[in-house]
Amino acid sequence: MTPEQQIIVKNGLWTNNVALVQLLGLCPLLAVTSTFINGLGLGIATLITLVLSNTFVSMIRHWTRPEVRIPIFVLIIASIVTAIELAMNAWFYELFLVLGIFIPLIVTNCSILARAEAYATRNNVLDSALDGFMMGMGFIFVLITLGGLREILGQGTLFANADLMFGPVAEGIELSLSDDYPGFLLAILPPGAFIGLGLLIAIKNAIDRRQSKQAIIVSTPVNTTQSPAQ
Amino acid sequence: MNIHKQVATTAFLLMLFATIGAALVGFIYDNTYDTIKYNEQQALLKQLNNIIPASHYDNELLTDTIVLAAEHRLGTTTNSIAYRARKQGKNVAVVFSAIAPNGYNGSIHLLIGIYENGKLAGVRVVKHKETPGLGDAIEAKRSDWILDFNGKSLTQPSNKQWKVKRDGGEFDQFTGATITPRAVVKAVHSALLYFDLNKDILFKINSSNKPSESKPDETEP
């Protein structure tokens, strides 16, 4: 992996995380993260869309014109999302029943247009696909963390309904905190999503701050070239 | 480059991509249409079989249908479809949709199956917006509450007992949620009354005998 690609990976997962740093795609994110499995579902669908749209946009980047590039990107993204929805409906029906409602939501996710515009128009196909993949992974990471936290706090379970996504194999996977967990409604309702996301952003910033402090202390005497990435 | 040529090229480019996009979606739509249709029918059949086991009938449940006009007893505001189960030509049961308009958070959409003798075959919640963790116990996958309706009828329990326990009836409510079960009990009771009055129409064999298009989505308002 080239150094450039390593930066793509780090950007997508952490430094420039779609949900925690760019704060994009919050509408679907806040709407569906009531459970771990819901979060994972939206995450996977978004990941596929990001990879495909970045790939296509990068492929045609020399043929567009600056005046109409945004409409063209929107056309491409809308076609891809519709194609994915139809294909899943036909060939992965069980999965579609779970994810189906999230797929149209992807259109409201501005991170896809943002990555097409900010990255895929300026870089080659391979790097663009990788960027889409890593951005998608970073998004999944936030979705399942938030979904998992809200599910544990709200209803005292984790991985509920996993069988809908992974088939009967996953039926026993659901964990329960205790049999008579009273439940914490706030965590499941929309305000819980806002509060949870705020806390996640705060934690990420705290970790970054601590690391940059350490990096300065460690690196100043020995290695002046390695500045903390940002 | 002169301005006209530039505009023309740009417009052409946009049109080209629109055509490609539309062609792609059209192509996939065409190739998945039959499979999607089949999947939907199978899913609907599975839902109906949850209420009336496949062994109880031998007709084509999905094509032996009758369209019901909007009906206040069922809470429906548009046409809905009733599915009739028959075995060896004898009427077994009918399954139709009903809407409880007064849930805690809007309408609760139900699928109700009633045997020919007026006993409930089963009730399932199709769609609702009740509070997660409280009112959503009406879903069969979250609790067994909805199964309590099985075997109930207009006479068993009596008219007065068709209420939740808090209102002096016989059906359980949930801790922290009375409005949701109250709405469902009322809708099921009202559907039973409707069945009692319209039994003959509900089981009537279609005179035209042409298989009507059964599309589950069309029952939704």
Q: Which domain holds residue A159?
A: 3-222
Contact between A82 and B134 using a beta-carbon 8 Å cutoff: no
* Domain presence at residue A227: no
* Domain presence at residue A27: yes
The three-state secondary structure class of A161 is coil
* Cβ contact B193:B154 at 8 Å: yes
* Domain presence at residue A50: yes
Cβ-Cβ contacts under 8 Å for B136 (sequence gap 6 or more): B128, B130, B142
Residue to test with chain A: of B39, B104, B217, most A Cβ within 10 A: B39
* Cβ contact A200:A146 at 8 Å: yes
The rounded Cα A23 to chain-centroid distance in angstroms is 11
* Domain presence at residue A228: no
Contact between B14 and A68 using a beta-carbon 8 Å cutoff: yes
pLDDT at B215: 42
Contact list in A for residue B133 (CB cut-off 8 A) is 154-155, 183, 185, 188
What are the helix (H) ranges across A33-184? 36-59, 69-91, 93-99, 103-106, 110-115, 125-155, 162-166
pLDDT at A93: 82
Give the Cβ contact number of residue B90 at 10 Å: 10
Contact between B132 and A155 using a beta-carbon 8 Å cutoff: yes
Q: What percent of chain A has pLDDT over 90?
A: 27
The tally of domains found in chain A comes to 1
Q: Which of B158, B39, B121, B56 is nearest to A97 (CA)?
A: B39
pTM: 0.72
B13 to chain A: nearest residue by CA?
A64
Is 90 exceeded by the pLDDT of residue A64? no
Contact list in A for residue B131 (CB cut-off 8 A) is 185
What residues are paired with B67 via a beta bridge?
A: B81
Position A15 confidence tier, pLDDT thresholds 50, 70, 90: confident
DSSP at A230: -
The nearest CA of chain A is from the CA of B3 a distance in Å of: 13
Contact between B39 and A82 using a beta-carbon 8 Å cutoff: no
Euclidean distance between CA atoms B132 and A155, whole angstroms:
9
What is the arithmetic mean of pLDDT over A191-199?
92
Is 80 exceeded by the pLDDT of residue A181? no
CB pairs under 8 A between A and B: 64
* Cβ contact B216:B97 at 8 Å: no
The ipTM, to two decimals, is: 0.70
Q: Average pLDDT by consecutive 10-residue portion of chain B (221 residues)?
A: 84 92 94 92 90 90 88 89 90 92 91 93 90 83 89 88 89 87 94 91 68 42 42
Euclidean distance between CA atoms A63 and A224, whole angstroms:
43
Cα separation of the two ends of chain B: 55
Q: Which of A22-36, A212-226, B133-147 has the lowest mean pLDDT?
A: A212-226
Give the Cβ contact number of residue B50 at 10 Å: 14
Q: What are phi and psi of A35, to 5 degrees?
A: -140, 165
- Which run of H or E residues covers position B11? helix B3-51
Contact list in B for residue A72 (CB cut-off 8 A) is 13-14, 17
Position A229 confidence tier, pLDDT thresholds 50, 70, 90: very low
Domain ranges of chain B: 54-219
* Cβ contact A39:A139 at 8 Å: no
